[in-house]
Amino acid sequence: MRPEDFPDASPTTFLPPHMYVDAWVYDAEQRHVFAKSWQLVADVGQLTAPGDYLADTIGTQPIIIVRDKQLRLRCFANVCRHRGCTLLEGRGNAGRGLVCPYHQWSYSLNGDLVGVPFRGEFEFDLDVAGLGLIELRMAVWERFAFVDLSGSAPPLADYLGEFAAELSSHNIEGMRALNVIDEELEGNWKVHVDNAFCAYHFAMVHPQTLYAAQSRTGLTVELAEFAGCSYIPWKGYEDGTAGYAGLTGRAATGSLNISLFPNVFLGALPSGRLTVLAWTPTSVERTRLRAWSFGHATDEEAAAEPARQRRVLAEDFEVVRRTWQGMRSPLYRRPGPRHYRELRIYNFHRMLVKMLKDGAGAATRQHSG
């Protein structure tokens, strides 16, 4: 692939359909975007004791996040250094260390190789110090762990930009985890992300669930390099005193909807609720969604949250399904004009194409060299 194989992102429209449906684009995204950008992996509020772990994947790369004996969070490639077998699955507590189920090579919670069965029968000396687990770059913002497989992405603070600071008064670390959804959906991942980064569809798709609470004027959209934010005033919160106590600035009077490149959405409401969505492609046509809901909620409100979250997501799923159906039609030759409320989509497309072009250019230079 060459940089010119990828179309420039247009400020007035959207990416052409082939960028969603072609397998070679998907492969390039795996190499040049997901492997080189911060990926949201976990709510670390669920990992509190030494040995607590979460095993997951970033693209095709299995990873583990674990708390060591000093309660530090560590992230490792979830592969044994002997034959590559994955060490752990799901979530749990690894006790004093991580043990491979294949040949029972064992590792401490800080990744050191500490046990090799029948070690004396190897025909050569083992470089035990060099056979520890491969540690990956990780950073935590509030209660969320992000992992950079490449180790070379800009600092996470650069990704979050100035918008994340506006959420500080929400006291996210003190929120209750109200609901978690983890499922696979139909459609290319970008169709789902485009929808999440769009404020144009609220009146049409969410007339009762979201739009009914929103003021009809005052929406603003702002962009940073890796992030975008739409602010929407909410009815009844004009003076900043009707919502969750302690909220300040715009967080007290409306919703802050933050898009984080390439695949994360943060939606903070003045009522003191937070929705976090992350999409990971599993193929050109399938996408994994993880959706977290948090809040400073009463028991009654917490009990009602799963149904509320599911209703809002179901509204999105239906239009995304139908968009994906039309996206694959040869009759949909080019996208239409972009609306102001879709400005965050352009920001997303701009950075996506830049990373694809940069990656293709680097690969071309390496090959020619």
pLDDT at 306: 96
Predicted TM-score (pTM) of this structure: 0.94
Q: What's the rounded mean pLDDT across residues 296-317? A: 95
Number of other residues whose CB lies within 10 A of the CB of residue 331: 5
**Could you report the per-residue pLDDT of 240-297, keeping only the tens digit for each?**
888 999 999 999 999 999 999 999 999 999 999 999 999 999 999 999 999 999 999 8
Instruction: Judge contact between 139 and 38, C-beta under 8 A.
Output: yes
Rounded distance between C-alpha atoms, residue 228 and residue 225, angstroms? 8
Q: What's the rounded mean pLDDT across residues 146-175? A: 94
- Residue of 10, 45, 279 lying closest to 173 (CA atoms): 45
Q: How confident is the model at residue 369 (pLDDT cuts 50, 70, 90)?
A: low
pLDDT at 365: 73
- Domains in the chain, start-ordered, CATH in brackets? 41-140 (2.102.10.10), 162-349 (3.90.380.10)
Q: What percent of the chain has pLDDT over 70?
A: 99
The one-letter amino acid at 102: Y
**Could you report the per-residue pLDDT of 93-130, keeping only the tens digit for each?**
999 999 999 999 999 999 999 999 999 999 988 999 99
Rounded distance between C-alpha atoms, residue 113 and residue 104, angstroms? 11
- Largest separation between any pair of C-alpha atoms in the chain: 76
Distances (CA, A) of 3 to 16, 48, 132, 188, 244: 16, 45, 38, 22, 48
Mutual orientation of helices 189-196 and 343-368 as an angle, nearest 10°? Answer: 140
Give strand pairing partners of 256. Answer: 231, 268
